[in-house]
């Protein structure tokens, strides 16, 4: 961690006299204005809405990564090559829905979650998020942890950045440490953790703070079989409390049994959106896996 990063982390943890600004909602988000009342599950209000959202990434060939090639392209003002990750996606996700997102690798699933979480801004289209709700993106487990801080300090920092008061997070630390099964490593720098320890701590933190909205990207391979079962039980309990959960997973059986809705993406476009068993069956047929 460089000096600036350490100072910022210490400010957020209350180790200096300065107050760190707490921001939970992505800056581009705006309060919802639902003039068009479409048919929605049980008349619930949407917590997300996407309108014609398009996301493109520059395509980097091996030779394009060289400084010489990049400079030559800039001097010639040559157009860059792009790959479209999301192509005109429009959808709504309502309060309390459990939505599974399926599709082949490269279909745009993870990109969609990153748009919902505010990690990625679309080049085209509009995104709305209910600003009054606590959102926790469980995208790449532990990706936001500061390596030189301990597990305890990272939980405090992450919780405060989610919008919680320090005392609220402190009251949860014992339960987070117990669920993650880290023992004395909870007070060691996370740079000493294995990938599995990273993942267990991130999952324990994200699910213990009881967010209003949880975005989950393929996170159930976080330990041994016993710990995976423990994670599934916690997710099921969380979902029964009425939280909004959006899953990305290749585990169709899990999504069909746990979700109220499936969204099928292919090449950045929505192919199907509806009842889980029907969408899963159509997807399996398209993949030659009907049954």
Predicted pLDDT of residue 218: 74
Predicted pLDDT of residue 223: 61
Q: How far is CA 219 from CA 26, 70, 227, 251, in A?
A: 23, 36, 12, 11
Predicted pLDDT of residue 29: 36
Q: Is 29:131 a contact under the CB 8 Å cutoff? A: yes
Predicted pLDDT of residue 135: 76
Predicted pLDDT of residue 199: 83
Domains with residue ranges and CATH for the chain:
97-122+133-289 (3.40.50.300)
Flag residues of the chain having pLDDT under 70.
Answer: 1-43, 60-67, 69-70, 72-74, 76-80, 131, 138-144, 219-223, 289-291
Convert the pLDDT of each residue in 39-71 to its tens digit.
Answer: 445 557 889 899 999 999 987 654 555 667 667
Predicted pLDDT of residue 161: 80
261 vs 171: CA distance, rounded Å: 35
264 vs 276: CA distance, rounded Å: 10
- DSSP E strands in 81-145: the ranges are 82-94, 98-102, 124-129, 135-138
pTM of the predicted protein model:
0.73
Predicted pLDDT of residue 140: 57
């Amino acid at each position: 961690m460089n000096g600036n990063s350490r100072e910022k982390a210490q400010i957020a943890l209350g180790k200096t006299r300065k107050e760190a600004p707490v921001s939970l909602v992505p800056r581009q988000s705006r309060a919802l204005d639902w003039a068009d009342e479409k048919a929605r599950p049980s008349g619930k209000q949407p917590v997300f809405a996407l309108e014609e959202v398009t996301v493109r990434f520059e395509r980097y060939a091996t030779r394009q990564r060289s400084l010489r090639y990049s400079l030559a392209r800039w001097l010639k003002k040559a157009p860059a090559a792009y790959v479209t990750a999301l192509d005109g996606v429009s959808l709504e996700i309502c309060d309390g829905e459990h939505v599974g997102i399926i599709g082949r690798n490269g279909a745009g699933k993870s990109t969609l979650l990153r748009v919902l979480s505010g990690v990625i801004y679309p080049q085209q289209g509009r995104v709305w998020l209910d600003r009054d709700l606590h959102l926790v993106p469980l995208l790449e487990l532990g990706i936001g942890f500061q390596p030189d801080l301990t597990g305890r300090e990272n939980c405090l920092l992450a919780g405060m950045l989610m919008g919680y008061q320090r005392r609220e997070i402190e009251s949860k630390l014992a339960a987070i440490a117990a669920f993650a099964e880290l023992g004395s490593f909870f007070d060691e720098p996370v740079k000493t953790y294995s990938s599995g320890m990273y993942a267990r701590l991130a999952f324990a933190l994200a699910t213990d703070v009881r967010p209003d909205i949880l975005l989950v990207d393929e996170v159930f391979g976080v330990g041994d079989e016993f710990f995976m079962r423990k994670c599934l039980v916690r997710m099921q309990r969380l979902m029964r409390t009425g939280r909004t959960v959006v899953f990305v997973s290749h585990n169709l059986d899990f999504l069909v049994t746990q979700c109220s809705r499936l969204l099928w993406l292919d090449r950045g476009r929505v192919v199907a959106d509806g009842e889980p068993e029907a969408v899963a069956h159509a997807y399996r047929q398209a993949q030659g896996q009907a049954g």
